[in-house]
A and B are shown apart, each in its own frame.
Chain A
Amino acid sequence: MNAIEFRNVHLNLGGRDILAGITLDITPGKFIGVLGPNGAGKTTLLRAVVGLLPPSRGSICIFGQLAACGHPGIGYMPQVRSSAAGMHLSGWDFVACVLHGHRLGIPFPGKMGRAEIDRALDLVGARELSRRPLAEISGGERQRLLLAQALVGRPRLLLLDEPLINLDPRHQHGVVDLAKSLQTELGITVLFSAHELNPLLGALDQVLYLGRGQAALGTVDEVITTPVLSRLYGSEIDVVRLKGRIFVMSGNYDMEHDEHRHDDVSASE
């Protein structure tokens, strides 16, 4: 059974098709990088997999079940980060709010619940960290708590939306390595969205590249090529390989880097 199956999927926001006619199969246990320029639809696609955005046409199946909110096999780290960052609440309590969070009752985790939360924290090495208040930890440390939160409930499919945003290169590597080891040790499928391909190169099994409403899925060698990317960007693209890194260029300029800068500008407004 496939982890994710898209059949002629159209995703529509505000009367506009963000993705149109996508068909693809993702087999279980893979590490997939979801790439594409700003506004290509990475977040939209992940939200559709979670069930937050039903397709306007076509169907999405997750482990053989139609995608819908509350699927127990999915762990999700949204791109919109929680507003809890400035609170005095401890990291532990923050992660714990996810446990059975959809059920009515008083949020006392009980012995098994506590063990489950500690397990998730151990997986990302944040057990010590979780004793501190959220207001007193760094952005990178908070990222690890969010990852722990996504792991509560033992998902088989982990969706991480831009976990590298606002991290320096060293911490970016830390997060990629962590996600990779979770994928191999737990045998789960990971969808990891990012702006840049290079930090992910060592971890990727496949890339899912989005652009102009279309998608291409395959290995790096299959997808990061002039014909495929030219189709997705709608202009002539050169792929330059240099010292184990890959640059996606249009004329003389680096598409991914340009996108990145664009994001920084809009974030600082």
Chain B
Amino acid sequence: MLEYDFMRHAFAAATVVAIVSGAVGYFLVLRGQSFAGHALAHVGFTGATGAYLVGIPPLWGLVLMTLAAGIGMGFMGEHMGQRDVAIGLVLALALGFGLLFLHFFTAFATQATSLLFGNVLAVERGAFWTLLGLGLASLAALAVISRPLLFASLQPELAEAKGVSLRLYSVLFLAIVAIATAECAQIVGVLLVFALMVGPAAAAQQLTSGVGKGVLLSVTFSLAEAWLGIALAFYTDWPPSFWITALSATVYLLAVSPRLSLERGSLRRNHRQA
């Protein structure tokens, strides 16, 4: 299947995006902000439709809009209850605008579908380089802030006492999430970002107890799911986004299934006896 240009592009793009979303997703799940990631992706839909209307590349509309919304959410609040309401409001408002843009631009149904559900097989060379640049930038930013971010996520009160600004890292992190979401949306679409950002990370956190190992396993899952999903799509002619979400859900369910955790328990007991 690799003799086709579009397949090579699809695998290359999926590789970049899976690495970014696996790593960023780990922190997203650790901070209990999965809903924020989900909302950012939907906001991206409005950005992309708006971009079609004014005639700039939709990927840029997506990136700019999610970035603005991510930074906005980061500023809005630390408190859980407040945070969910704020996110929900931003989400509804953005989708409303997205609908309005669709209304103005009627010749839009196919683009809308590929925005909503992704179309990895249509990624072009130019788009790939953009994905790579944005991906490297967000990974580098994540690496630079990862230590204080981890501290602020696990022990906020203590982190603040040590001089770590919770708000600053909340804003920086959501900006990184925004870029990762925009990237993910290229592969699986805005509705299914959960599959690559949250599924692999949540499964990895069930199976590991160290941060480093957790990030690596999350990236591994997300890579494997993306690659396998595209390969299965090639052979079955079903949409890649379907396969990726199906694989992501399967991996997560296996990770949390009671049988598996029983086995883990007995492994640990054996280990302790040895």
Contact = CB atoms under 8 A, between A and B. Distances in A.
Interface of A: 50-52, 69-70, 74, 76-78, 80, 82-84, 87-90, 92-94, 97-98, 100-108, 133, 149-150
CB-based closest 5 A-B pairs: A70-B163, A101-B151, A90-B209, A78-B157, A107-B147
A73 to B, nearest CB: 12
A149 B144 CA distance: 23
A88 B256 CA distance: 12
Contacts of A98: 151, 155, 158, 162
Given A97-B150, A102-B148, A103-B147, A82 B161 contact: no
Nearest to A96: B211
Contacts of B164: 101-102
Contact of B155 (A52, A97, A108): A97
A70 B145 contact: no
A52 B208 CA distance: 34
B209 A69 contact: no
B159 interface: yes
Given A70-B163, A107-B211, A133-B209, A76 B143 contact: no
A84 B155 contact: yes
Contacts of A107: 146-147, 150, 211
B213 to A, nearest CB: 9
Contacts of A82: 154-158
A69 B210 contact: no
Contacts, number: 94
B156 A90 contact: no
Interface in B139-190: 143-148, 150-151, 154-164
B146 A105 contact: yes
Given A102-B148, A105-B146, A107-B147, A74 B208 contact: no
Contacts of A52: 157, 160-161
B32 interface: yes
A100 B163 CA distance: 11
A100 B146 CA distance: 12
Contacts of B81: none
B118 to A, nearest CB: 30
A225 to B, nearest CB: 34
A97 B161 contact: no
Given A84-B154, A88-B205, A101 B159 contact: yes
A51 B147 contact: no
Nearest to A79: B157
A102 B32 contact: no
B55 interface: no
Interface residues of B, number: 30
Contacts of A133: 209
Nearest to A135: B209
Contact of A149 (B146, B147, B155, B160): B155
B206 interface: yes
B146 A93 contact: no
A78 B208 contact: no
Given A88-B205, A88-B206, A101 B211 contact: no
B160 A101 contact: no
Given A88-B208, A93-B210, A94-B154, A69 B144 contact: no
B212 interface: yes
Interface in B32-87: 32
A87 B161 contact: no
B151 A102 contact: yes
A87 B205 contact: yes
A251 to B, nearest CB: 38
A150 B163 CA distance: 15
Contact of A105 (B147, B207, B212): B147
Contacts of B148: 101-104
A70 B162 contact: yes
A69 B161 contact: yes
Nearest to B31: A83
20 contacts: A52-B157, A52-B161, A69-B162, A78-B158, A82-B155, A84-B154, A87-B30, A89-B211, A90-B210, A93-B209, A93-B210, A93-B211, A97-B151, A97-B155, A101-B159, A103-B148, A105-B143, A105-B144, A107-B147, A150-B158
Nearest to B210: A93
Contacts of A76: 158, 161
Contacts of A150: 158
B217 to A, nearest CB: 12
Contacts of B207: 88
A106 B155 contact: no
